[in-house]
Structure 1
Amino acid sequence: MIGAPRPGAATLVVIDMQRAFQDEGQWQVPRYDEIVPVIERLHQEFEGSTVFTRFVRDETEHGAWAAYYQRWDEMRYPADSSAWDITMDVSGTATVLDAPTFSKWGPQLAALIPEGAEIVLTGVATDCCVLSTALGAVDAGRFVTIISDACAAVSDQAQQQTLALLELLSPMCEVVTSDQFAGRKVRQHSSRP
């Protein structure tokens, strides 16, 4: 269900659209290429209110991260590896934030999205970095909108399960398609005096 308009301007956040998740390998997201055109269209519509994030491995592998990278040993790329390159055009006014964690929510992103404002999430993987970023933003008092056809998970089943879980957080978090989101924006603009 599409909720009421959010206070303040929305910010599009594109999570981890990087070679490490597009290319064949341990972290490949199968439907990665399918969501690119949807994200590109949204990026154009947001006219400079876009943040791209990058997952970049912390080579010190603190605590449990060491065990994590033992499991995913092929992904131990150095911080300057091209595997961490964003595969989309980030030129113009987009902001790029790096983090070595699943959640991209933190002081840097919080500074760009005021409390009570809306964060619109897209990217990969729905069942990991998108989910953890959404939970962090909700906990910090932001409204979260997930664009379902602009996100991809490690499998279709994981996608459906994660979106269903996120829908339980309504009205703090809502899940919509890009068409539903565009329709909501049109209604907001047409209702203004």
Structure 2
Amino acid sequence: MTNSKSSTATGGAKRHLVVIDMQRAFREAGEWHIPRYDEAARTIAALSASGMDPILTRFVPDPEEKGSWSSYYDRWQSMRLDPADPLWDIELQGVEVRGSIDLPTFSKWGEELAERIPVGEEMVLTGVATDCCILATALGAADAGRYVTVVEDACAGQSDAAHDQTLDLLELLAPMVRVVKSDTLLV
């Protein structure tokens, strides 16, 4: 594959930095707290500062709670919040927020990301939680023919074990999905 837009490990395809759900709901103490959120946030800021323009997403609940989502929120009742609640705000120091793709689903892969990331181009995937929304988004994007690079130190999971297990699983999908450390992209 040849493309003169930028050079990557995917053969020269353009890179798109996608930042999944870096929101107050996952940073603050509470049921959905992600312990290494701040570490991932610092790495995401470094990637953004290196010239990769971020595409930000937000998990925003659907008040209708269609189908199994009602049972999901029965489990996490404290998160049954209005979509406009400040807990859903993006919290990512050092990264300019110029809008976001808002979805009530784990996967953020869909029409909006597909329009921004053409087939054959590379999605550099960062954010939270590795073992939920990162995994779901990576699978959807790979199924749709996008190269997915998951930046392990720019992601954080519900626990270190869950994070590591998910990265091991994603590595099985090479070459469609690859897992790298940020220093390989910051050179």
State the distance in 1 between where 2:108 and 2:51 align. 20
1:9 maps to which residue? 14
Where do 1:86-125 residues align within 5 Å?
86-89=90-93, 90-91=95-96, 94-125=98-129
Contact 1:6-1:143 within 8 A present in 2 as well = no
The percentage of aligned residue pairs carrying the same residue is 53
Contact 2:15-2:122 within 8 A present in 1 as well = yes
- Which one-letter code corresponds to 2:176 in the other structure? M
Give 2:38's match in structure 1, choosing from 29, 33, 55. Answer: 33
Contact 1:53-1:97 within 8 A present in 2 as well = yes
Give 2:51's match in structure 1, choosing from 46, 53, 61. Answer: 46
Residues matched between the structures, number: 179
Higher helix share: 1
Give 2:29's match in structure 1, choosing from 3, 24, 31. Answer: 24
State the distance in 1 between where 2:137 and 2:27 align. 20
1:84-106 superposed Cα distances (whole Å, 9 cap, x missing partner): 000025537x5511000000000
Structure 2: tracts of 5 or more residues without a match: 1-7
2:184 maps to which residue? 180
2:161 maps to which residue? 157
Structure 1: tracts of 5 or more residues without a match: 184-193
**Two-structure CA RMSD over aligned residues (Å):** 1.4
